[in-house]
Amino acid sequence: MSATLDSIRRHLVGLKMPRALETLDHVLRQAERGTLTTLEAIDALLGEELALREACRVKAALQMGRLLTVKTLAGFDFAFQPSLDRDRILALAQLDFIDRHEVLHLLGQPGCGKTHLATALGVEAVKAGRTVYFTTLADLIASLAKAEREGTLRERLRFLCRPQLLIVDEIGYLPVVPGGGNLFFQLVNARYEKGAMVLTSNRGFAEWGDVFGDTVVATALLDRLLHHAIVVQIEGASYRLRQHADLIPENVRRRPDTAPLQAIRKRGRPPKVRPTDTHPIN
C-alpha cells in the first residue's frame, strides 16, 4: 500500500498535478472512512486539479489582456445607478455581442461605472475562454503612433485585431494627438465586423469631432462604430463622489447627459445608424 501510494505521488509530480498531490491524503482518508467511493475520490482529485489550472489560466489571460484591476458585475452597485437595467446588463454578460462582432458603447459622466462595467464584461469573457485586451484610448493611440514611427504599424494593427474583445476606455477624457484619430480609424476599420469592442466615453457622439480634432475622421469612425452597436447610457452621478455630493456645484450635478445618438453632420458621409442594428439599453 505504501509503495503504491508513493508511486501515485510520483505520477502526480510527473504529470504536474500539484493540487491533486496536495489533496491526495485528504481524499484517501475520506475514501477509507467510506464517505467517498473510489470513483468519487478520483473525481475529487481531478476536480481540484482542474480548478487550479482554470484559476491559473484566468489569471494569466487577465494579465495578458491588461485587465490588471479585476471588477465583477456582482460588485457593481446597480442601486446607485437606477437608470441601468440590471437584467439587460447581465444579458450582455452572456457575451452574445462578442459572437456578433458588435460594439458596446458605455456613455456617462466620470465616475458613473463605465470602466467597472467594461472591465467586468472583460473578466466574464476571459472566464468563458475568450481573448480580451484592455487599453485606454490615450495608451492605444500612443502605441499606434510609436509603431508608425518605427515602421511596424501593420504588425501592431494585426496584434490588436487578434483579441475577440477589445476594450477601449476613456474616450474623450484627454485630447487626441494630431493624427491619432486617423490611427484609431485604421484599427476600427480593421476590426469592423470581425471583432467585438467595448468603448467607454464621457462625451456624446456629437462631440467626437472635438474629441478627435477632425469632424471627417469622427464621422468615419461613427459610421462603423454605430453600424452594429449597443448603446448604454448611464444617467447617474459619480459613484466615487457620492459621499461629497454637497461639495459639487449645482450646475455640474445637473449637467446634461451625453447625447448618444446625435450624429455629426457637418462634413463627410453621415454615419449609418439603423434601428435594427442599434439597440439602446435604457
**Is residue 279 assigned to a domain?**
no
**Could you tell me if 39 and 87 lie in one domain?**
no
Q: What is the pLDDT of residues 94-141, one digit of tens each?
A: 999 999 999 999 999 998 999 999 999 999 999 999 999 999 999 999
Q: What is the largest CA-CA distance in the chain?
A: 83
**Could you tell me if 17 and 137 lie in one domain?**
no
**Could you tell me if 104 and 156 lie in one domain?**
yes
**Could you tell me if 24 and 136 lie in one domain?**
no
Contact 167, 134 (CB under 8 A): yes
Check whether 40 has a pLDDT greater than 90.
yes
**Is residue 267 assigned to a domain?**
no
For residue 208, the enclosing domain spans: 78-253
**Is residue 261 assigned to a domain?**
no
Mean pLDDT of the chain: 87
Contact 108, 114 (CB under 8 A): yes
Task: State the Cα–Cα distance between residues 76 and 86, nearest whole angstrom.
Answer: 10
Q: In which element (H, E) is residue 134 found?
A: strand 132-136
**Is residue 268 assigned to a domain?**
no
| pLDDT value of residue 39 | 96
**Could you tell me if 249 and 143 lie in one domain?**
yes
**Residue 278 DSSP code:** -
Check whether 195 has a pLDDT greater than 60.
yes
**Could you tell me if 53 and 91 lie in one domain?**
no
Contact 122, 134 (CB under 8 A): yes
Check whether 49 has a pLDDT greater than 70.
yes
Question: Using a CB cutoff of 8 Å and minimum separation of 24, what contacts does 266-270 make?
Answer: 266/209, 266/215, 267/215, 267/216, 267/219, 268/215, 268/216, 268/219, 268/220, 269/219, 269/220, 269/223, 270/219, 270/223
- Type of residue numbered 271: P
**Could you tell me if 60 and 109 lie in one domain?**
no
**Could you tell me if 33 and 135 lie in one domain?**
no
**Which CATH number do you get for residue 213?**
3.40.50.300
pTM greater than the 0.85 cutoff: no
**Could you tell me if 108 and 173 lie in one domain?**
yes
**Could you tell me if 45 and 127 lie in one domain?**
no
Number of domain units in the chain: 2
**Is residue 167 assigned to a domain?**
yes
**Is residue 70 assigned to a domain?**
no
**Could you tell me if 139 and 204 lie in one domain?**
yes
**Could you tell me if 245 and 186 lie in one domain?**
yes
